[in-house]
Structure 1
Amino acid sequence: MSNWRRSKLGLSSRIIAHRGASKDAPENTIASVEEALKQKADGVEVDIRLTSDNRVICHHDKNTKRTTGEDKLVAETTFKELKTLDCGSWFGQPWLRQRIPELKEVFSCLKNQEIFIEVKTKEEIIPYLIKDMKNYSNECITVISFYPEVIRGIKEIRQDIECNWLIAFDYKDISEEDILSRAKDIGADGIGAQNHQRLNETLVNKFRDNNLSTHVWTVDDVKSANEYLKIGIDSITTNRPLYLRNKLENLQ
Structure 2
Amino acid sequence: MRSRLIPLFVFVASVSLSQLAFSQMIVAHRGASHDAPENTLSAFRLAWKQNADGVEGDFYLTADSKIVCIHDKDTKRTAGKKIVVQDSTLAELRQLDAGKWKDAKWANEPIPTFAEVLQTVPEGRTFVIEIKSDERIVPVLKSELDRLDHANINLLIISFNDKVIADCKRLLPNVKSHWLTSFKQNKATGKWTPTADQIAKTVKKSGASGVGMHGNTQVIDAAFIAAMKQGGCDEFHVWTVDSPADANYFSKLGAFGITTNRPAFIREALETKTAAN
Q: Which bin holds the TM-score, normalised by the shorter protein?
A: over 0.9
CA drift of 1:9 comes to: 8.9
How many aligned positions are there?
246
Partner of 2:151: 137
Q: Which has the higher contact order (CA 8 A, sep 6+)?
A: 1
| SS of residue matched to 1:237 | strand
Moved more, 55-64 or 135-144: 135-144
Number of the residue aligned with 1:45: 56
Aligned to 1:182: 202
Q: 1:161 to 1:71 in 2, by over 3 A?
A: same
Please state how far the C-alpha of 1:139 moved relative to its aligned partner: 6.0
Q: Is the 8 A contact 2:65 2:140 kept in 1?
A: yes
Q: Do residues 29 (structure 1) and 49 (structure 2) align?
A: no
Question: TM-score of the superposition, structure 1-length normalised?
Answer: 0.92
**Within 1, Cα distance between the matches of 2:152 and 2:134?**
21
8 Å CA contact retained: 1:120, 1:145: yes
Matches within 5 A, 1:117-156: 117-134=129-146, 135=148, 136-137=150-151, 140-156=154-170
Structure 1 residue 55 and structure 2 residue 88: aligned?
Answer: no
The answer to whether the Cα contact below 8 Å between 2:203 and 2:233 also exists between their aligned partners in 1 is: no
Q: Which has the larger radius of gyration?
A: 2
In structure 1, the residue matched to 2:213 is: 193
What secondary structure does 2:136 align onto?
Answer: helix
Among 225, 234, 249, the alignment partner of 1:204 is 225
| Residue 158 (structure 1) aligns with | 172
Instruction: Measure how far apart 1:211 and its partner are.
Output: 5.0
Aligned amino acid, residue 208 of structure 2: A
* Alpha-carbon displacement from aligned partner over 1:137-158 (angstroms, at most 9, x marks no partner): 3861100000010000000111
- The structure-2 alpha-carbon separation of the partners of 1:9 and 1:182, relative to structure 1 and needing over 3 Å to count, comes to closer
Matching residue within 114, 132, 139 for 2:126: 114
Deviation at 1:11, TM superposition (A): 6.6
Q: Percent identity?
A: 37
Structure 1 unaligned residues grouped into runs of 5+: 1-5
- State the TM-score, normalizing by the size of structure 2: 0.84
Alpha-carbon distance between aligned partners in 2 of 1:160 and 1:69, rounded to the nearest angstrom: 39
Q: Which of 24, 27, 52 pairs up with 1:16?
A: 27
**Secondary structure of the corresponding residue to residue 123 of structure 1:** coil
